[in-house]
């Protein structure tokens, strides 16, 4: 049985900035790894049909896990849809994540749906990880820093 998680946030940032944070390797390493993990992007070919690859490393014990996928849909400032597959054979299957971005009066409404999460991963752990990541995403995209 597969898991699906759905998340909703409103961020004080324009949709284009949030969209870019999903496709910029340095930004991804800053916001996507959950607390206690560092991230490294090995590959990112941000175009439909292009692939991406990264890893998370547990800062406490040094253990790492890698994963990657393909971009299925990219609508600048509006939508991203991509696959993810863990290298670990104990985490089988291919997940599909859809991120929709809608401009609202105070910034951007963001909806995330992640489907086909391996059944050995409890949905509540996915929610916890995503919540941590989205808090860090807000810290990357919301500040208005003048030069």
Q: 3-state DSSP call for residue 19? A: helix
Measure the CA angle with vertex 79, ends 75 and 83; round to 5°. 105
pLDDT in tens, 70-98: 999 999 999 999 999 999 998 888 999 99
CATH class given for the domain over 3-141: alpha beta
CB 35 within 8 A of CB 42: no
Whole-number pLDDT of residue 127: 93
CA separation for the pair 137, 66 (Å, rounded)? 20
* Percent of the chain scoring above 90 in pLDDT: 88
pLDDT in tens, 97-129: 999 999 999 999 999 999 999 988 898 999 999
**pLDDT of 1 over the 60 cut:** no
Whole-number pLDDT of residue 119: 87
**pLDDT of 5 over the 60 cut:** yes
Q: Could you tell me the two tokens for 12?
A: 């004080």
The pLDDT of 36-56, averaged and rounded, is 97
The pLDDT of 37-58, averaged and rounded, is 97
**pLDDT of 66 over the 70 cut:** yes
DSSP 61: T
CA separation for the pair 47, 30 (Å, rounded)? 21
């Amino acid at each position: 049985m597969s898991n699906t998680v759905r998340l909703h946030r409103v961020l004080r940032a324009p949709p284009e900035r949030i969209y870019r944070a999903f496709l910029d390797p340095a930004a991804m390493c800053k916001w996507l790894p959950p607390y206690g993990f560092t991230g490294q992007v090995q590959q990112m070919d941000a175009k439909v049909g292009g692939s991406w690859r990264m890893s998370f490393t547990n800062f406490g014990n040094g253990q790492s896990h890698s994963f990657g996928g393909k971009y299925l849909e990219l609508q600048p400032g509006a939508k991203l849809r991509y696959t993810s597959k863990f290298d670990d054979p104990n985490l089988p299957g291919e997940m599909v994540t859809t991120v929709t971005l809608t401009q609202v009066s105070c910034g951007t409404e963001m909806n995330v749906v992640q489907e086909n999460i391996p059944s050995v991963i409890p949905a509540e752990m996915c929610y916890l990880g995503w919540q941590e990541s989205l808090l860090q995403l807000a810290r990357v995209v919301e500040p208005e820093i003048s030069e």
